[in-house]
Amino acid sequence: MSYTSPLAESLAPDLLERFQRYVRVDTQSARDREGSPSTPGQLDLARMLVDELHAIGLADAALDEHGYVYATLEGPEGSPVIGLLAHMDVSPDAPAAGVEPLVHAAYDGGRIELPRGGTVLDPAEMPVLAGKVGHDIVTSSGDTLLGADDKAGVAEIMTAVAHLAANPELPRPTLRIAFTPDEEVGEGATLFDVERFGARCAYTIDGSQPGELQDETFSAAEVSLTVYGVDIHPGYATGKLVNAARLAGRILAALPADRLTPETTSDREGFIHPYEISGSAGRAVVRAIVRDFDDDLLHEHVALLTRTAAEVVAAEPRARLDVKVRPQYVNMRRHIETMPEVVERAERAIRAEGLEVIRDPIRGGTDGSNLSARGLPTPNLFTGGHEYHSTREWASVQDMASAAAVIVRLAEAWAE
């Protein structure tokens, strides 16, 4: 399979070597964290990256007290400062210890049967994989995730930066690099030091298909509904018991089921998604996430959910409802729109690599959602990885090499 450019082909060996090294480190993050990072394995990778950045020649590379790695590749005097970001952790939703990557060279388009866990990558069910005939495909051994999300992004940034450092004649701005912990548990941007980072804008390298440039995410809120009933021994309950668990069930039953759900929506439609319910007769809790690309519609969905709950509970005067609404992140678009060159230069870099720009909104959030809202416009670029958070996760060496080449071309696009 030919690469998108001689540059991509020349970057591939270093990239693959780095990628295989990074995925072997167990950096699975954990929910309900008590410190940052949530797990010590992330620090193992962070220290490895600091050492490698020093070896590349980025003398200021350092790990901060929260588990973030920062480094600088200086451009010519007066250059703009542009950020490159990837997250070091991998998802808690699939086994992540003992990852052993496998390279399936020159993929023939058939089923890929992995040696462990009975895991099969079937192109009949994975149309994107079916399109990669001739690529070198990297998978896990079948009993863990691979960790392309987001070690592909980490390896691509490292490879591109090493290439720029080794070729000082190549045009570049000042590049600020950061590798972040705990993205998969929603905390990647929390302790990110925007001020210290000091960049005009940044790019997360955390997407999928070659050419992807994402500057739109959901706006997101989490709603927690607590219903208090009246609990009493069922043998003496006549006329007294008020069952909170039943009321919670009625709230769910009263919500729309044929629209506004994740399973009935796509593209730009938002949803209300009750994802956890726990309860007893005395007290029941319903947790839901609410999503939309439009902030006004997001508020409407939140209002529909809380009004539905209030109406159900109001029908039983002895029951009580407590509502908590927590904003999670906002659609990054309105923050990125204020600086059109952030998207323009990325488009230029993608086209310079011979790729078409793909601009689908993300039905989710990224570290960039939060960072954009905090004044660092941060769209997302592709990595070449797929089937994230599962044992079927895979990445194409050729596509990862394209991503590394796009980073080199992005540096050129920002050189002044």
> Which is catalytic among the residues 14, 143, 183, 393?
183
Nearest approach, Cβ of 214 to Zn ion (angstroms)?
12
Nearest approach, Cβ of 184 to Zn ion (angstroms)?
7
Cβ nearer to Zn ion, comparing 88 with 160: 88
> Which is catalytic among the residues 14, 26, 89, 184?
89
Q: Is 125 a catalytic residue?
A: no
Cβ nearer to Zn ion, comparing 150 with 387: 150
Nearest approach, Cβ of 289 to Zn ion (angstroms)?
18
Nearest approach, Cβ of 149 to Zn ion (angstroms)?
4
How many angstroms separate the Cα of 266 from the Cα of each of 212, 259, 261, 298, 364? Answer: 18, 11, 10, 15, 12
Nearest approach, Cβ of 46 to Zn ion (angstroms)?
16
Cβ nearer to Zn ion, comparing 156 with 206: 206
**Nearest alpha-carbon partner for 361 in 292, 282, 264, 303:** 292
Cβ nearer to Zn ion, comparing 150 with 393: 150
Please report, as ranges, the residues that interact with Zn ion according to CB under 5 A: 149-150, 206
Q: Is 183 a catalytic residue?
A: yes
Cβ nearer to Zn ion, comparing 149 with 353: 149
Catalytic residues: 89, 183
